[in-house]
Structure 1
């Protein structure tokens, strides 16, 4: 169960899991709340997709109540229309709706938070509903140990499981450090969470001593106009590009010497894991959750404080000035990603299912 098949990390992980489950012979039905017309990802072979077309925004509180009641009825009918051994739901609001719709069906419901819920504001009403409904979850999966303590305030500790994201197969061929372009890559939605405004301020400092290096920020979102204006104000038009959303992320990462994650908060940053797998020298902000679970500072990558443009510029300058360091970090990062091999992550999910069925029996 997921809201849509958009370009986000939660959608990618859900599809990766569905692909693996279907490949081994499981019957997989993937419900989405949207109508399926704006899919970024393709539905895997062997997976039945049901687009419920229940997403929407209401214009008034009363309208919202009526619309949500209708959505829950539709969702409950959909769940009752198929034979289910377990329900898996991703992301906060979807989790709440799924738990409400599945009440009394006798099917284990495994929910998962896909971002740091301590930082991601879903509003007062949804937060209250989350606290109320999560008690009914058979299991709650979070992505990092740092979020475990939050999860244990919503369900009992025995029902909390920490599972990182599976590393998907990188499509781009490996490129040696010496053959990579003098490019710093960043990837993500153009939203405040990703901290690209701070990245631009940091790159402006780096550019003074490294004019040959370019910054490419791939992604789309509501901050495009303000980020483009910031590029102009900083005089970086010739060395910064924002090409938009791309399906060729692997090629972008494999051809870039450095990857920077400038986020203010994360859950488990897929793109950082993918950059590591591509052998990029990685610099990341030390968010409350995510980067430090992937990078060991000075060994696998460099970590800097959140929203500190000077520190970020210093770390970027350090890797730009030292080709040997870039090579060492890239090699270490590539090896480190094997902790998140798909088979290991799939087994972790299977362990959750076994425990959930035992608990529900």
Structure 2
């Protein structure tokens, strides 16, 4: 017997189904989970559907109902169970949200189309760059699914503009909602004792996946220039990824391996960031660059490449940190050296950075996203 689905009343909480592929330990997933955790439960009843289990996020997901796809069996069994499970959940929901671009958004649109519900899709990275790194079928699927979103939610103005350029049908249906940054959580983690293996003298730090997007090869070349100019600060690159071996080889070929540390993935990167004299972002492209905002939140001044499309927006065009040309090791080295030699500038950026990140507080950001949800559900 089929379960009867009750329609929401005008005063009952909106039932919102979020979809993720897996609970991976990265900033994009953390942003989605923080959004879910901070939704006003008087107005929203969120559920999270995760296709495959991943790492635990217990400190963020307390009080959030999480449902998983098939956890056993081969790929064929999991794939066969996904549509009926997702369909049942979608029928009981009022709005379907793809928490990340690509697969979660494809699933959100599919479920919404099958059940006649509105759909919302987050865009957290520059889609042209994302699609360029994926097999061609993703571009075809994106053309099919993205124009069918009720709303696209971009995490920066630059991303919003690129979405509307790529999919003109979304013009007028794309909103900018910044990522929510849990400032209390960041400060609590940053207050931890210095991590084991951290340099005992002032150091530079970078954090992110060891992937081409993050431009750590550019950073290493910039660091080699700094060392040649007499800078003695160690460089710590926190993270793991497929570029790890190549980056270590590059550090050795540049003759700076004695000054570079690769501690791998760290459960608490905030302690590494707070302990550094300067935080460096060398990305080739971003959606927002959450870790820049996190560095500002814990009081570490930032030097960042002015890549598409988040750093300049987060740093207010250079008011809250140093911006340099992207793909330019010399410019990056000069930006870092200039900040290291100017304690007054570091103090000024610490103060302005803390002011700037208030705009990313969950109270502000999630309230704005709530307006989007109520709008697509006809309550706005």
Q: TM-score of the superposition, structure 2-length normalised?
A: 0.84
Compared with structure 1, are the counterparts of its residues 25 and 354 closer, same or farther at alpha carbon in structure 2 (3 Å cutoff)?
Answer: closer
State which of 72, 94, 97 in structure 2 corresponds to 1:88: 97
Which of 233, 239, 253 pairs up with 2:273? Answer: 253
Q: Aligned residue for 1:52?
A: 69
Asked if 1:206 is matched to 2:226, the reply is yes
Question: What root-mean-square deviation, in Å, do the aligned CA atoms of Structure 1 and Structure 2 show?
Answer: 2.7
Question: Per-residue deviation at 1:126?
Answer: 1.4
Is 1:262 matched with 2:278?
Answer: no
The answer (yes or no) to whether the contact 2:305–2:325 under 8 Å persists in 1 is yes
Where do 5+ consecutive residues of structure 1 fail to align? 59-65
Distance 2:120 2:263 in 1: 37
Q: Which residue of 2 aligns with 1:160?
A: 174
| 2: CA distance, partners of 1:226 / 1:16 | 33
Distance of 2:67 and 2:139 partners within structure 1 = 27
Aligned to 1:185: 205
Structure 2 segments unaligned to the other structure (5+ residues): 1-18, 194-199
Deviations for 1:84-109, whole angstroms, at most 9, x for unmatched residues?
Answer: 12111122222112212332312221
Kept in 2, the 8 Å contact 1:112–1:140? The answer is yes
CA deviations on 1:34-62 (whole Å, 9 max, x unpaired) are 1x1x315226122111121489998xxxx
Q: Distance in 1 between matches of 2:317 and 2:201?
A: 24
CA contact 1:76–1:102 (8 Å) conserved in 2: no
2:109 matched residue in structure 1: 99
Question: Structure 1 residues 261, 40: CA separation in 2 closer, same or farther (over 3 Å shift)?
Answer: farther
Contact 1:54 1:71 in 2 (8 A): no
CA 1:143/1:346 → structure 2, altered by over 3 Å: closer, same or farther?
Answer: same
Name 1:145's counterpart in structure 2: 157
Partner of residue 240, structure 1: 260
Q: CA deviation at 1:154?
A: 4.8
Tell me if structure 1 keeps the 8 A contact 2:211–2:241: yes
**Match of 1:63?**
none
Q: How far apart in 2 are the matches of 1:329 and 1:55?
A: 50
- 1:76 pairs, out of 78, 86, 95, with 86
Partner in structure 2 of residue 5 of structure 1: 23
| Offset, 1:27 | 2.7
The partner residue of 1:119 within 124, 129, 133 is: 129
1:129 aligns with 2:141: yes
